[in-house]
């Protein structure tokens, strides 16, 4: 109820500012006796880590996670898991000149109006640095899903559009995602994207992006109608990621134009299993998982920290022109891929526990 927690039974609470001493989180409700080590978490954090190519910020944060509680002799104990990452490359001086100014497209102005005070250094609490903790908690959520459902569960994501350039879905290859700096599943799109993003950066601009996340191997039955529908929680989970402006499931916004006679997934039997003949629904019907792949997409707007001057105002109500000189991602969507995956994993772990509670998933 106080804003910095997500989830019901599998519950994440994060804390920390971009330039404070550390960031961290508490994961409460994790079932006991699940093998967990810091390296299990670090693996996913490293995917989100900046500074790995010229297309992400050069801020150099090793982002080494520590497990402070809730794990004993290599297994979870059912008690809250405290995690922390020390902040080691803060460079507060980068931000001094904009301390009383509001960057267009940032939360600077709204935090100021709401709270009357703000930690202006690096965006403070509004920094995307907070998403490191989502990735860490998502790593634990993956472990929960694997332990309770089985190793066949996968939660993957990819960038499917960079600026105006979309992939060709017929060339989708999950293996490609790991091979390029964009998390792009279409190998042939990579070169054009690199050229485009280099151009954008040279002009002092930035690019938006579209990300798709997919969960496979999730059983039917997860999701609690009416207001805790699985898709409702996914929408909230993804929309709260920094810079996200929209979320869709399955056909998503295309559904406006698809007539009813082809919009719905027909069913047949495959042995004793129900088989859907298509997946317009994105794996969710009536807010409950159907057993098909769960498919969600979210859009990330272009980075708002830009080197060219922008018209703005400051805390004293004076008009100013503002430039942001720190190190920033030209396309924050790239590093949002593991964050989207993590949020999907967290939602699914939470709903899996809820399903066990009420319906005793068998």
- Which residues in the 230-249 window bind a copy of itself by CB under 8 A? 231-240, 244-249
The region of 39-47, 50-58, 178-186, 353-361 touching a copy of itself under the rule CB under 8 A is 353-361
CB 208, CB 333: distance < 8 Å? yes
Pairwise CA distance, residues 121 & 9, whole Å: 34
182 binds a copy of itself (CB under 8 A): no
- Which residues in the 308-337 window bind a copy of itself by CB under 8 A? 308, 310-313, 317-319, 333
Q: For 90-157, give the DSSP string.
A: --GGGGGGGTTB--TTSSHHHHHHHHS----GGGGGGSGGGHHHHHHHHHHHHHHHHHHT-TT-EEEE
Q: How far is CA 228 from the centre of its chain?
A: 19
> Among residues 320, 335, 332, 300, which one has the least CA distance to residue 103?
320
- Shortest Cβ distance from residue 39 to a copy of itself (Å)? 17
Of 36, 132, 177, 200, the one binding a copy of itself (CB under 8 A) is 200
Of 3, 170, 178, 202, the one binding a copy of itself (CB under 8 A) is 3
Pairwise CA distance, residues 102 & 95, whole Å: 12
Pairwise CA distance, residues 13 & 24, whole Å: 9
The region of 46-54, 79-87, 88-96, 178-186 touching a copy of itself under the rule CB under 8 A is 79-87
- Which residues in the 123-162 window bind a copy of itself by CB under 8 A? 124-126, 130, 161
- Which residues in the 84-103 window bind a copy of itself by CB under 8 A? 84, 102
Pairwise CA distance, residues 173 & 19, whole Å: 38
Q: How far is CA 323 from the centre of its chain?
A: 27
Nearer to a copy of itself (CB atom), residue 124 or residue 338: 124
- Shortest Cβ distance from residue 188 to a copy of itself (Å)? 19
Size of the site for a copy of itself (CB under 8 A): 154
The region of 2-10, 41-49, 54-62, 176-184 touching a copy of itself under the rule CB under 8 A is 2-10
- Shortest Cβ distance from residue 98 to a copy of itself (Å)? 13
Of 40, 89, 146, 228, the one binding a copy of itself (CB under 8 A) is 228
Pairwise CA distance, residues 22 & 237, whole Å: 23
């Amino acid at each position: 109820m106080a804003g910095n927690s997500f989830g019901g039974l599998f519950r994440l609470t994060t804390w920390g500012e971009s330039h404070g001493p550390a960031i961290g989180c508490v994961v409460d409700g994790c079932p006991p006796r699940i093998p967990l080590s810091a390296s299990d978490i670090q693996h996913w954090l490293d995917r989100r880590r900046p500074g790995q190519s010229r297309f992400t910020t050069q801020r150099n944060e090793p982002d080494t996670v520590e497990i402070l509680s809730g794990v004993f002799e290599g297994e979870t104990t059912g008690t809250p898991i405290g995690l922390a990452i020390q902040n080691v490359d803060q460079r507060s001086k980068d931000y001094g000149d904009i301390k009383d100014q509001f960057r267009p497209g940032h939360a600077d102005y709204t935090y100021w109006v709401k709270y009357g005070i703000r930690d202006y250094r690096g965006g403070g609490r509004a920094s995307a640095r907070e998403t490191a903790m989502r990735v860490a908690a998502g790593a634990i959520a993956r472990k929960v899903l694997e332990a309770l459902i089985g190793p066949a569960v996968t939660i993957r994501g990819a960038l499917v559009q960079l600026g105006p350039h979309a992939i060709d879905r017929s060339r989708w290859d999950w293996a490609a995602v790991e091979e390029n700096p964009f998390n792009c599943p279409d190998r042939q799109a990579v070169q054009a994207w690199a050229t485009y993003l280099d151009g954008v950066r040279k002009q002092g601009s930035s690019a938006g992006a579209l990300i798709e996340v997919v969960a496979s191997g999730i059983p039917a039955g997860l999701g609690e109608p009416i207001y805790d529908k699985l898709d409702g929680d996914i929408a909230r989970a993804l929309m709260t990621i920094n810079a996200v402006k929209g979320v869709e499931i399955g056909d998503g916004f295309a559904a406006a134009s698809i007539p009813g006679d082809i919009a719905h997934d027909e069913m047949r039997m495959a042995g004793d299993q129900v088989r859907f003949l298509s997946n317009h629904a994105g794996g969710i019907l009536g807010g409950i998982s159907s057993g098909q792949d769960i498919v969600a997409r979210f859009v990330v707007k272009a980075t708002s920290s830009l080197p060219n001057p922008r018209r703005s105002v400051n805390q004293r109500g004076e008009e100013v022109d503002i430039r942001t000189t720190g190190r920033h991602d030209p396309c924050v969507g790239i590093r949002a891929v593991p964050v989207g995956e993590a949020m999907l994993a967290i939602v699914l772990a939470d709903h899996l526990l809820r399903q066990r509670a009420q319906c005793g998933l068998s």
